[in-house]
Structures are given as structure tokens and as C-alpha cells.
Structure 1
């Protein structure tokens, strides 16, 4: 992951959460735990590889928890950690801003 060059807290947040998919994935996980394929259906334009990479980055940052259940077939679920739940306010602001943008069209 890139380094924070300005020392700014906004840059630090965007370094982790920026990009096309991460906040979108967080917004879907706010509803509760989801399996990988459920997230793929929620975000149909994301490739399997990109979804895997984005979930791993969120997991590495401590925002997402990956749970593997020892079943046949193996079941894997993703959910937000307590730290990940802190993003709820940001998602709400982004949703409000997105609705405002849509209204301008």
C-alpha cells in the first residue's frame, strides 16, 4: 500500500478506503455478514480477483473479519469488525451525497 506523503489524516483515510470498491463493500457489510458470492452478486461489475484483493486489504486493516466454517463445502463469511462498524457514519454521508448528486442530473 502507498505511503502517506503529506501526513494529513484525510490522506491516511483515503489511502485505506479510497478506490472504487472498498467503501461499497463496507456499505453492503453494514447489513450483516455476507458470503463471497453474495458480495459478488451485490457488486456485479467487480471481478473475483479484485473482490478477493479488496476483502484481503480490508481484513489486513482490521475492518473486516473473515470466518471459515469447517463444513462441506467450506463456508466463508465476511463481516465488519468493531472498527469496521465505525465506518457507518462515513457510508451514511456518502449515501446522502450520492443522492444529492443524482438529484442534480
Structure 2
């Protein structure tokens, strides 16, 4: 895994042009990140909303305790997988989500 700062839509597009596939979190305030996602108040934990651009860049908003935004240049937003998320009471719950969120398994 290559870690880098300055993740942006332009960077992911340039990487894809060079056949380098990337996926990671991105700030919602970054330039060219969609602003028309569902409002936070209309989403509960585990919900997601995604947008795909004409050049197949996928941007996903996923609600955990707070919203998390992901950007990917190779994931298919139609695929879903189950991940385990810890609940407030200590139990775990399987949540259906896009493969982009498998990064959560690495981060947790």
C-alpha cells in the first residue's frame, strides 16, 4: 500500500491514466467532490450514497458515526460485501457495503 497526501479527483484520474489503481478517503471539501450526496440527517449508520463520473471515478459517502468519503478509480459501485462493525453496546453487526469499504477492515 502506498500512502500519500493530497488525495484529489485529479490525482486519481492521473493515476488511472498511468494504470495505477487507487482507493482511499478524501475530504468532502476537496475540489470536484460531489456536493449532492444525501444529507447527514437522512442517513443512518451503515447507509451509503455514491456518484460515478463519466471517466469512471467512484465517490462514496458512507455514514459511520460520522460521514466518511471514499474515492476510487477501480471499484464497481454495484458490488457489495459484508463487513463487521462494532456497535455502541460492544456487539458486532454485519453491514452490507461497497468493496471500497474493505479499507475499513485494514484501518480498524
Larger Rg: 1
Say which structure is richer in helix. Answer: 1
Say which structure is richer in strand. Answer: 2
Greater relative contact order (CA < 8 Å, ≥ 6 in sequence): 1
- TM-score in terms of structure 2 length: 0.30
- TM-score in terms of structure 1 length: 0.31
